[in-house]
Amino acid sequence: MKKVALSACLTGCSCRYDGKENLNRPLLEQLSSYEIIPFCPEDFCFGTPRPTMDLVDNGKTIEAISNKDGSTLSKPIVRYAKDFFEQHADIELFIGKDRSPSCAVKSGKVYNKEKNLLHTTGTGLMAKVALDLGIESWDSEEYLNHTS
């Protein structure tokens, strides 16, 4: 069975920053021929519930910045992502939650250091690791529209 890495909140896991989920039944039906490997970097690294974060372009790189204290949260997320794909080297498809600073493939909000919105086509930090590994990657809404 082919394997898909899927944002855990889309499977019904209550791992969002506010302790809620984003269960997407049509998407799960669409993926019924896959073995689903769920992931949630933010729950693993920071627990649930947790403060929100945003993607910030500092002119050199794009970092995940805490909205609570302005600290940089990128490192543990990227570490989690690399470990995840090492453990699941046979993943063929990555589907991330739209607009998430960790999971969005091309729908993330990106701000500048002054917190002005630059664009809404950013890539979350875990999705970037998937893309860098050459894994076919989609935002969940686009994948559903594309395949149904």
Give contact residues for ligand SF4 (rule: CB under 6 A): 7-9, 15-16, 40-43, 97, 100, 102-103
Nearer to ligand SF4, 39 or 59 (CB): 39
Based on CB atoms, which residue is closest to ligand SF4, 25 or 60?
Answer: 25
Shortest Å distance, C-beta 73 to ligand SF4? 11
Distance of closest approach, residue 3 Cβ to ligand SF4, in angstroms: 16
Residue with tokens 């690791």: 129
Is the four-CA dihedral 119, 109, 55, 123 of positive or negative sign? negative
Minimal CA–CA distance to 19: which of 37, 43, 54?
Answer: 43
φ, ψ (nearest 5 deg) of residue 6:
-135, 135
Computed over its alpha carbons, how large is the radius of gyration of the chain? 15
- The residue type at 114: E
CB of 59 to ligand SF4, least distance (A): 25
Question: Which CB sits closer to ligand SF4, 21 or 60?
Answer: 21
